[in-house]
Amino acid sequence: MRKLTIGLVGYGNVGSGLVQFLQKKKNFIKNKFQVEFAFKAICDKTIPDRKPAVPEGTLLTADYKELLKDPEITTIVELIGGVHPAREIILDAIKNGKHVVTANKSVISSHGKELFEQAQAHSVNLLYESSVMAGVPSIKMLSEGLAGNKFNAVYGIINGTCNYILSEMTSKKLSFAQALEQAQKNGFAESDPTLDINGMDSAHKIAILVNLAIRKFINLKEIHTEGIQHISHDDIEHAERLGLTIKLLAIAKRVHHELEVRVHPTLISKDHPLASINGVMNALYIDADPMGKILMSGEGAGQMAAASGVVADLINLASRSEKTAPRFFCNTHAESTEMQVIKIDQIMTKFYLRFMATDKPGVLAQIAGVLGKYDVGINSVTQNVHNKAATVPVVMLTEFAPEQMVRQALEEIHKLPIARGKPVAIRMEKLS
Ligand code: HSE
């Protein structure tokens, strides 16, 4: 029987979930893997005020350094989230020869290179399965399951909160605020849900996946990121009528010798399997060569989902022989520096456009004229006429066009006397 003695830093929703998970599955894990886990100490800055219930005999402290001093503790589990002080705690743990398991996407996406290099230098493991899609094994799928494949494209629904909000707005017609409140109640959202809804959480996660898939540490600033805060019921309904659905997609794909990495609301066909990923479910749709297409899906947020990924890493650690080389699941050596990320205004994409315009003859011709001037082809037009409203929506789907041209056309259309309000533009993705 192997025993892994853990120091846990962060005793919030996921931290307490981890302790509950391991208590509940203690015998099952013991019998199946011949492994036992012991929480020797738990550190949380709120501990002096909160005095939470913890397993018997566990030391409670607000000072993580106490965990690092203890030679019996071989593994630090970091579950505080955020970049600071998580980066400093992980570095300190590594330098003290402790293995680290974390669910922290912010710190891995922003400081992964430094952390992996330090882990390598100190011969310790740094595992982070739960940082992307929680317990759904995305890190293992990319790094191990599909080892040997070249990744052409990775499309992810990788924020449970946003997917839940969009699904509830679509199926139950909830308002954005009502759906967000429910996501928070269910424990899907970050403590600051801004990171979920402005797309940053998905950007952190796709940066991690790009490192595994394409061998590149990507600067978060290079990821064009838009959230779902401006998605309206009107656009959800227009999209539905056109056989489309809106998802917050994180996209990473090779285009010739360059890379597109972006996060934004995206219209996809209702017939594509990704369109049926609803609620808190996350999914990755991958085009790998020579394997082909893969879809992996599961609950990507929530207490037990997040704890599950951490437990998988702990079992992985405990089952490893001390003689085997440590694991980082990253590419610090073979970095693909020559692949540059294409700026968003340089990409070619299709758009869903919605203009609010005065209900007068000639409106369509004026809008189409400006789009034509910028060489933006129109694939379809829908206009609700005779509804007696002074302002009507004009919905257009474009052909593939350079983003820059579409943006310039929209600016010009916005200035037309017939325009009422800013045009809405949502990118479309044709997934095979
Ligand atoms: N807030 C995150 C989400 C939690 O909604 O996906 C899991 O990373």
The fraction of the chain above a pLDDT of 70, given in percent, is 97
Asked whether the bond before 85 is cis by omega within 30 degrees of 0, the reply is yes
Please give the residue that has the higher pLDDT: either 322 or 300: 300
Residues catalogued as catalytic: 205
DSSP 8-state secondary structure symbol assigned to residue 142: I
Over residues 19-28, mean pLDDT: 97
Cα(243)–Cα(232) distance, integer angstroms: 17
Query: Residues 406-419: what's their mean pLDDT?
Result: 97
DSSP secondary-structure letter at 390?
S
Sign of CA dihedral 219, 275, 135, 166: positive
Q: Whose CA is nearest to atom 7 of ligand 1?
A: 301
Cβ-proximal residues to 157 (8 Å cutoff; 6+ apart), any chain: 163, 247, 248, 249, 250, 274, 277, 281, 282, 283, 300
> Which residue did the predictor score with more confidence, 76 or 49?
76
Does ligand 1 lie within 6 Å of residue 160's CB atom?
Answer: yes
How many angstroms separate the CA atoms of 152 and 122, rounded?
Answer: 34
Over 60: is that where the pLDDT of 283 sits?
Answer: yes
The pLDDT value recorded for residue 357 is 94
pLDDT at 223: 98
CB of 108 closer than 6 A to ligand 1? no
pLDDT of 386 higher than 60: no
The per-residue pLDDT of the chain, averaged, comes to 94
Asked if residues 37 and 71 have their Cβ atoms less than 8 Å apart, the reply is no
Among 190, 204, 205, which is best to mutate for testing ligand 1, by the most ligand atoms less than 8 A from CB? 190
127 close to 104: Cβ distance less than 8 angstroms: no
pLDDT in tens, 244-277: 999 999 999 999 989 999 999 999 999 999 999 9
* Cβ of 349 below 6 Å from ligand 1: no
Give the model's pLDDT for residue 323. Answer: 73
301 lines ligand 1 (CB under 6 A): yes
What mean pLDDT comes out for the span 8-16? Answer: 96
Query: 358-369 pLDDT, tens per residue?
Result: 988 899 999 999
Please give the structure tokens belonging to residue 313.
């890493």
Give the separation between CA 115 and CA 108, rounded to whole angstroms. 8
Chain centroid to CA 295: 16
Angle between helix 160-171 and 233-241 (nearest 10): 70
Evaluate whether 17 touches 304 at the Cβ level (below 8 Å). Answer: yes
Q: Please report the sign of the dihedral spanned by the C-alpha atoms of residue 371, residue 373, residue 376, residue 382.
A: positive
| Span 16-45, average pLDDT | 97
The pLDDT value recorded for residue 360 is 87
Question: 190 CB under 6 A from ligand 1?
Answer: yes
> Which pLDDT does position 336 carry in this prediction?
67
Tens of pLDDT, residues 90-127: 999 999 999 999 999 999 999 999 999 999 999 999 99
Query: What pLDDT shows up at residue 387?
Result: 61
Write out pLDDT tens, residues 161-188: 999 999 999 999 999 999 999 999 999 9
pLDDT at 426 over 70: yes
Over residues 375-385, the mean pLDDT reads: 89
**Local confidence band at 294 (pLDDT 50, 70, 90 cut-offs):** very high
Least confident range from 1-15, 210-224, 327-341: namely 327-341
> Ligand 1 pocket: which of 129, 166, 180, 188 to mutate (most atoms <8 Å of CB)?
188
| Whether residue 333 has pLDDT greater than 70 | no
CA 346 to ligand 1 center in whole angstroms: 30
Query: Which numbered atom of ligand 1 lies nearest the CA of 189?
Result: 1
Ligand 1 atom, smallest distance to 301 CA: 7
